[in-house]
Amino acid sequence: MPHHDVLVIGAGLAGQRAALSAAEQGANVGIISKVHPVRSHSNAAQGGINAALDPEDSWESHAFDTVKGSDYLGDQDAIEIMCREAPDELLELEHLGVTFHRDETGHLGKRAFGGASAARTYYVADITGQAILHVLYEQLMKHDVVHRYEEWFTTALVQDEEGKVSGAVTRNIRDGSMELFAAKSVILATGGNGQVFNPTTNALVCTGDAIAMAYRIGAPLMDMEMIQYHPTTLAGLGLLITEGARGEGAHLYNADGERFMEKYAPNKMELASRDVVSRAEQTEINEGRGFPDGTVALDITVVPRKRIHEALREILNVGRDFAGVDITKEPIHIKPGNHYAMGGVKSDTDGLTSIPGLYAVGECACVSVHGGNRLGANSLLDTLIFGRRAGAHAGKRSKGSPMPQPSRASLDDEEARIRAIFDRERSGRRVSEIKAELGATMDEKCSVYRDEEGLREALEVVTRLRQEAKVATVDDRGTIFNQDLLGALELQFMIDNAETILVSAIERKESRGAQYRTDFPDRNDDDWLKHITVQPNGDGEAPEIEYSEVTMTQWEPEERTY
C-alpha cells in the first residue's frame, strides 16, 4: 500500500505548490494527477497573476479591489492574507525561474486587468499559467522527494471510524490497477468544474472530481452558485480570449458599432469586473444589438501590432486557428462563456476543510477569496498562496503522528463499483449524450441571467440525468487506458456538482456577483450577505442547506459601480 505523510490529489498550480511546500517541511509527499502534471488546466491561464509588488501600490488596495470585486461575499481575513503574501510569492516564483516580463529597467513589468485600481498583473507573454506550471514541475523533477503518480485517477476518499480522512482509492490509468493510498493528510487540488457547462473555457479534465468526492463524504461545499461567465469567449467552442486583451486596451462593440460599456461602466469601461461586463454583453445580445451569431465584437486592432505580438501572441494563434480571424486586422466575435467556479469545498486559510485530515486548495476549494465574482489574475494567486499554506500546514502536522491504516473495505467498494459499471447492460444512453444534455441545460438555465423557474427545470433535468448516468453505456471494458470508464466516473462527479450549483442558486434569492436573478434583481445585504453551504442528506434526498457568516475585517459593503 503506497503511503505518504501528505497525499496531494491534483497537480495543477495548487497541487504542485502544496506538494513542494509540504516537502520543504520534510514530509514524505505523494502527488496524484489524472493527466501528466503539465497538462493540468492551470496552463491555460494566459493573463497573469496579481500582486501589489510596486512600492506605489499597496496590498490594502489589492485587497479592497478583491473585496469589491467579490460583491462583498469574499471573506476579508482570507483576502487580506492572500494579498499580503502575494508579493513574496511572486518573488519566490521569479527566483525559481519563471520568466516574468521585464520593463526597460530590467525589473518586473506589469499590465492592467479588470476590476483593479492599479496595474498589478505580472505575466509571461500570454502563457503565464503555463510558465509557472512548468517551472513548478521543474522543481518537482529536481526534488525527487515528491513521489509523482502521473496518470492516476482518484475515485474516492477514505475515512477511518472517527471520520478522519486516512487516504484515497486511486486507479492507475495505465494498467487499470486500483490502489489504496494511506495518508496522514490529503490535500484536494483537482481544479474547477467547467465541464458541467457547455460551452466552457475549461479543459475536458475540469470535471469537479474532488468537489464531488469531498461532498460525498460530508464536506460542506460553499458558494457553489457563484459561477463566473467570462466576457470574452469564442462562440461555439468556448475558447477564451484573455482579459489581457482588454487590459492592453481592446474595445467592445455591439452590432450597431456602439461602444456599449459606456452605458454600463462609464469609468472602468471594458475593464469593469467580469460579472458586470458579461451582463452588459448579454443584455446587448438579448435586446437585439448583437450579431446574428449571438455575439458582440472585441476589437483588438486598437492595440499596437508590436504589442500584440509581444503580449497577446496566444490570442493571435487562437484567433487564427480557431476562428479564422487575424486579430491585428479585424474584430473578433465573442460572448460570455462559462469560465470559473468561485465556490467549492469550504476550507479555511490553511486549506483545512470541515473534515479532519482533509484539505482543499485551488479552484476546487472555497476559502472564500473570490466571493461572488473573481477578479482576473487572482485565481493563480489563490492556488499558489493557499496551496503553499496548506502544504506547509499538512507537512508540519504529519510530524510525529502515526500513519493511518485505511481499511481495505473501501478499496473493495471501489473495485465493486467499477465492476458494476463494466457489468452494465449496453442499453443505457451514452455517457457523451448525458454529458451534452447536462452542459446545454446548465448553460441555458444557470448562466448570466437566472430565475427560479429555469433553475428548477434544470434541477429536474439533472435529477433525471443522475438516474441515467447510473446505467449509462460503457463501450470499453479493458484495463489499459480505459478513458470510457473514467468518463463514466467523471459524469457522476459532474452531476453532483450540477445539483449543488442549482440548489444553491435557487436558494440565493438576490442578485450578487455572478448570480443575477431576474426575479430578484437587487443585492440584498440584509438577508443574503452570507455564504450558502450544502451538504449531502442521504441518497435520493435534496442536499442540506446551511449558511455561514461572511468574515469582515475593514471593508463595509458599499454599492458597487465601475
Partner 1 sequence: MAEAQDFTLKIRRFDPESGEQAHWQDFGVELDPDRSVLDGILQVKDREDASLAIRCSCRAAICGSCGVRINGKSALACNTRLSDAKQTASNGAITVEPMGNMPVIKDLIVDMDAVHWKKIQRVVPWLLPEGEPPEREYIVPAEAMIDVTQSMACIQCGVCVSACLSLEVDPEFIGPAALAKAYRFVGDPRDDHTEERLRDLAEDPHGIYDCTHCFACIEVCPKDVAPMSQIMRLRRRATADFGIKDSNNGYGHEKGFVDIIEKWGTLHEAQLLPRSFGQGSAIRGQVEPDAVKQLLRDMPTALRGLRAGKITPKKALMHPKLPGQKNVRRIFEEVEGKKERLELNLYIVGDDGDQAEGAQAEGSGES
Ligand X SMILES: Cc1cc2nc3c(=O)[nH]c(=O)nc-3n(C[C@H](O)[C@H](O)[C@H](O)COP(=O)(O)OP(=O)(O)OC[C@H]3O[C@@H](n4cnc5c(N)ncnc54)[C@H](O)[C@@H]3O)c2cc1C
Instruction: By CB under 6 A, name the binding residues for ligand X.
Output: 9-15, 32-35, 37, 40-42, 44-49, 128-129, 153-154, 189-192, 201-202, 205-206, 209, 240, 339-340, 362-364, 376-380, 383
> Can residue 470 be called a binding residue for partner 1 (CB under 8 A)?
no
State the cell numbers at 181: 493510498
d(CA 112, CA 48): 10
Amino acid identity at 193: N
> Can residue 24 be called a binding residue for partner 1 (CB under 8 A)?
no
d(CA 335, CA 358): 38
**CB closest to ligand X, residue no:** 12
Q: 369: closest CA among 360, 381, 357, 358?
A: 381
The minimum distance between CB 538 and ligand X, in angstroms, equals: 24
- Judged by CB under 8 A, the chain residues 228 through 257 that form the site for partner 1 are 236-237, 239
From the number of C-beta atoms within 10 Å of its C-beta (0-12, 13-18, 19+), residue 552 rates as: middle
> Can residue 480 be called a binding residue for partner 1 (CB under 8 A)?
yes
- Judged by CB under 8 A, the chain residues 113 through 132 that form the site for partner 1 are 124-125, 127, 130-131
Amino acid identity at 518: T
d(CA 532, CA 548): 7
| Residue 139 interacts with, from partner 1, ligand X, none (CB under 5-8 Å by kind) | partner 1
| Residue 482 interacts with, from ligand X, partner 1, none (CB under 5-8 Å by kind) | partner 1
d(CA 140, CA 118): 34
The minimum distance between CB 186 and ligand X, in angstroms, equals: 12
| Residue 308 interacts with, from partner 1, ligand X, none (CB under 5-8 Å by kind) | partner 1
The minimum distance between CB 355 and ligand X, in angstroms, equals: 17
Choose the stretch contacting partner 1; rule: CB under 8 A; options: 315-323, 384-392, 443-451, 458-466. Answer: 315-323
For 54, residues 6+ apart whose C-beta sits below 8 A from its C-beta are 110, 118, 120
d(CA 289, CA 236): 19
| Residue 47 interacts with, from ligand X, partner 1, none (CB under 5-8 Å by kind) | ligand X
d(CA 326, CA 561): 34
The minimum distance between CB 49 and ligand X, in angstroms, equals: 6
> Can residue 552 be called a binding residue for partner 1 (CB under 8 A)?
no
> Can residue 484 be called a binding residue for partner 1 (CB under 8 A)?
yes
The minimum distance between CB 556 and ligand X, in angstroms, equals: 27
By the 8 A CB rule, do 372 and 273 touch?
Answer: no
| Residue 379 interacts with, from ligand X, partner 1, none (CB under 5-8 Å by kind) | ligand X
- Judged by CB under 8 A, the chain residues 68 through 107 that form the site for partner 1 are 91, 94-97, 99-107
Binding residue for partner 1, selected from 1, 26, 117, 142, defined by CB under 8 A: 142
| Residue 426 interacts with, from partner 1, ligand X, none (CB under 5-8 Å by kind) | none
**CB under 8 Å, gap of 24 or more: what pairs does 254-262 form?**
254/284, 254/289, 254/290, 254/296, 254/297, 255/289, 255/290, 255/291, 255/296, 255/297, 256/289, 258/289, 260/284, 260/289, 260/296
What's the residue count for the chain? 562
By the 8 A CB rule, do 495 and 162 touch?
Answer: no
Which residues are annotated as catalytic?
274
| Residue 225 interacts with, from partner 1, ligand X, none (CB under 5-8 Å by kind) | none
State the cell numbers at 409: 473495505
The smaller minimum CB distance to ligand X, of residues 233 and 441, is found at 233
The smaller minimum CB distance to ligand X, of residues 47 and 454, is found at 47
The smaller minimum CB distance to ligand X, of residues 131 and 272, is found at 131
